Amino acid sequence: MLWIFWLVFAYFLGSIPFGLFIGKICHGIDIRNDGSKSTGATNVARLCGFKYGVAALILDLGKGFVPVIMASQYSHNWMFLSLVAAAAVLGHVFSMFLDMKGGKAVATSVGVFLALAPAALIYSVICLFAVIFLSGFVSMGSLTFAIVLPIFCLFTGKVGMVPLACGITLLLFWTHRANIQRLAKGEEISWKKK
């Protein structure tokens, strides 16, 4: 029963659309109607400004970090913690407050791995920022993060987190499917373009 409580709690917290709230409260707009139409931090930054994007990033990251770090005080079972982490990430993608729609789950995934495998996360985030800097595409950096995360979990000794990381990889490619199509067509939005 306690496992169920933690899964429900993680999903509920993950479902809170902080990006949508920031857009409506701070700028009076629904960020689902413009830009990438995502409720994530990148779209918030694009439509509302950098500082609001950072706020959305921190809050979305917290949605993953907080339930996992709290659940780890209850149990260190890798399967239990992986399920809690997955519930938080899935809550962000399939939000109960947004008719089972949501963001692309990069920030929330960063949050869960900050709690579960910080070394692997650091290496993966370095790759993410390097690709964004070189290419100008946040989506390409996010996809790179998705690919290298399981590899770094394995190399840093967090073998128990590899199945979760592989699931996150598949999920991030699915949530970025429209970005992948735009990248292939040369239509993706670049941060390097004014």
Crossing angle of helices 106-116 and 138-155, in 10° steps, is 20
In a domain, 191, yes or no: no
Q: What is the pTM (predicted TM-score) of this model?
A: 0.91
Residue partners of 89: CB distance under 8 A and separation at least 6: 14, 64, 105, 108, 109, 112, 168, 171
- Residues 37-76 as b or e (16 or more Cβ within 10 Å = b): ebbbbbbbbbbbeeebbebbbebbbbbbbbbbbebeeeee
In a domain, 163, yes or no: yes
What does the pLDDT average to over 141-146?
97
- The residue segments making up the domain with residue 83 are 2-185
In a domain, 194, yes or no: no
How many domains does the chain fold into? 1
In a domain, 122, yes or no: yes
In a domain, 193, yes or no: no
Q: What is the pLDDT of residues 37-83, one digit of tens each?
A: 788 888 898 899 999 999 999 999 999 999 999 999 999 999 999 99
